[in-house]
Amino acid sequence: MQPQVSGCIEFDLQGENFLLLPQRGMFWAARKTLLVADVHLGKAAAFRAHNIAVPAGTTEKDLQTLSEMILQCGAEELIFLGDLVHNKRGLTDRVCSLILAWRELHDAVRMTLVRGNHDKKVSNITNLMRLDIVEEPYVVGPFALKHHPKEDKANYVLCGHTHPAVRLSGRGQKSLRLPCFSFGEKVGTLPAFGSFTGCLEIEPEENERIFVIAGDEVIAVE
């Protein structure tokens, strides 16, 4: 039975049923597993360490959103599809204390990180998050879970890394760029979860399914 989550869309992929969440995650109901990509914890702090003025509070916001998804979906497992953290410099004492408190709050949730390119530079992720770290591909059911969008010989790929977005045009030559889920023939890419991450505008290929995140709602692009 699917949880009731406002603004989401049900999506069948490789014979499995998912919820695409407006908080930029995917919930795999049969396994009670939540998937997110490109959280980039500590990114704003890393910028401030280089004397670049950026807004504060993004780490708290992102951890709170993760908590909301876990509770709304009843997730028993959380899998990060790479780039959980941004870099070592961004893991300040304050950021680390926030992460540790958040992990304690969700002590019963199993967590796994499919190592991304940013994660490889940070050695203490395991201590902070108490999670398992695996290399790509991490095969679960019919899926190869990766960070990078590279096809797999045997399984459909779910990944992150590219921070996909599409531009939608309206009346009066107005357009809007929105983060999206994109599902091609062999690779599906999740939007970047982190609130302090950019987007890469993509041109959908033929037969590629696109679902944009418009505020608090996921919308299929026909």
CA separation for the pair 95, 153 (Å, rounded)? 39
In a domain? residue 95? yes
Q: For residue 57, how far is the Cα from the chain centroid?
A: 19
Domain that holds residue 196: 9-221
In a domain? residue 205? yes
In a domain? residue 54? yes
Q: Which of 41-45, 86-90, 166-170, 191-195 has the highest mean pLDDT?
A: 191-195
Structural contact between residues 124 and 89, judged by C-beta atoms closer than 8 angstroms: no
In a domain? residue 34? yes
φ, ψ of residue 111 to 5 degrees: the values are: -135, 140
Question: pLDDT value at position 123?
Answer: 65
Residues 105-161: tens digit of each pLDDT: 999 999 999 988 766 766 667 777 788 889 989 999 999 999 999 999 999 999 999
- Segment holding 147, helix H or strand E: none
In a domain? residue 1? no
- Segment holding 80, helix H or strand E: strand 77-80
Token pair in block for residue 30 = 């049969």
In a domain? residue 173? yes
CA separation for the pair 28, 1 (Å, rounded)? 11
Q: Which of 19-28, 85-94, 159-168 has the highest mean pLDDT?
A: 19-28
CA separation for the pair 93, 34 (Å, rounded)? 27
Report the domain count for the chain: 1
In a domain? residue 4? no
Question: pLDDT value at position 87?
Answer: 58
Question: pLDDT value at position 49?
Answer: 47
Domain of 47, CATH number, reads 3.60.21
Task: Provide the whole-model pTM.
Answer: 0.88
Residues 40-86: tens digit of each pLDDT: 886 544 444 444 434 455 788 889 999 999 999 999 999 999 888 75
pLDDT averaged over every residue in the chain: 84
* pLDDT higher at 162 or 122: 162
* Residue that the structure tokens 């993004």 belong to: 58
Question: pLDDT value at position 140?
Answer: 97
